Structure 1
């Protein structure tokens, strides 16, 4: 787990892509692979990385496009997570 944690930190650090972009990518992937915990985690981390609500919503839209019908349901979960985290950080 320690190694995975380090890989996580290294992978999402600013580089050629910003941390914000990487969190939005991770969120879209989480939706398409239907990982509830991953969705909440990456919505939560996208906000302090600088992603706005509109950017997160667009990432959800791309995930739904690529993931089809099942991604619609998980996209809804991501929107619910966004609402909860946005309220708690306001």
Structure 2
């Protein structure tokens, strides 16, 4: 699976829905900006939390968006793997499998180590 193609397709579908429900998206986007603003926790920490929730809820689109944000925020592969270990500990087998997807997305978005597709 190409995470870049998956993101492009997902954004296209969301754009169609946003045209039909602009108020909902405006509210959701405003909530996201407020939630991600730096405070006691910085944005990168908050994105790691969001990634944990994305993995726990098994949402591929959410995984892709939050991994992409972590790349933008200059998260390292080591930080990501450490977070994935904690996520796996809390979520068991399914979180291990979806954590592997998150690592695959990170590697694709950063041009990092290539692994086997999950």
Q: Is the TM-score greater than 0.5?
A: yes
CA displacement at 1:71 relative to structure 2: 0.8
Match of 1:21 among 45, 48, 51: 45
CA RMSD of aligned residues (A): 1.3
Where in structure 1 do 4 or more consecutive aligned residues deviate above 6 Å?
A: none
Number of equivalences: 88
Match of 1:32 among 56, 60, 63: 56
Larger radius of gyration: 2
Structure number with the bigger relative contact order (C-alpha 8 A, sep ≥ 6) is 1
Structure 1 distance, partners of 2:81, 2:64, is 14
| Secondary structure, aligned partner of 2:74 | coil
- Check conservation: 1:20, 1:49, Cα contact below 8 A: yes
Q: What residue ranges of structure 2 are gaps of 5+ in the alignment? A: 1-24, 113-118
